[in-house]
Amino acid sequence: MSSPAATVGSAWTFRLAACALAIAGTLSCRRPPAPPGACANLAMNVCTQYGGKQSRAAKRMCGGAPWLEGDDACPREGALGRCVRERGAYTEWLYAGPPNRYTAAGARRTCQEAGGAFYEP
């Protein structure tokens, strides 16, 4: 017959093992980050590049604008510059033309007023 101390020790070991399995199961069930991509809303003169952590939600919110797969998916042709936002969480590429008729100075100002860092291409 086992002692009460042995029974308590066995119960503790069982609980510890059960917790470890539950944690391992939770960690293994996480979805991997989605591939990076960009929402190309070129009708509004902006293409927003997202990393893997944000791209799944961003793709859903992109609406009718095309979703472009890849790390550097936004077109560079015609770009006035890029606005890096939220400590690099996403980058907006800004383009000239209607409807907002951005100039390089206007794109820079818009970016900086929104708290971003503007870089010319």
Beta-bridged to residue 83, according to DSSP, are 92, 118
Statement to judge: residues 41 and 13 lie in one domain: no
| Residue 86: predicted pLDDT | 87
Instruction: Say how many domains are in the chain.
Output: 2
Residue 21's pLDDT band, with cuts at 50, 70 and 90, is very low
Pick 1 or 81 by higher pLDDT. Answer: 81
State mean pLDDT over 101-108.
93
| Residue 94: predicted pLDDT | 96
pLDDT digits (tens, 9 = 90+) for 50-70: 988 888 999 999 989 999 999
Statement to judge: residues 50 and 91 lie in one domain: yes
Calpha distance 100→97 (Å, rounded): 7
| Residue 88: predicted pLDDT | 84
Domain boundaries, position 22: 1-30
Beta-bridged to residue 95, according to DSSP, are 79
Q: What percent of the chain has pLDDT over 90?
A: 55
Statement to judge: residues 90 and 113 lie in one domain: yes
Distances (CA, A) of 7 to 1, 2, 4, 13: 10, 7, 5, 10
Tokens read off for 89: 């969480």
pLDDT digits (tens, 9 = 90+) for 30-45: 777 789 999 999 999 9
Q: What pTM was computed for the model?
A: 0.71
Statement to judge: residues 25 and 55 lie in one domain: no
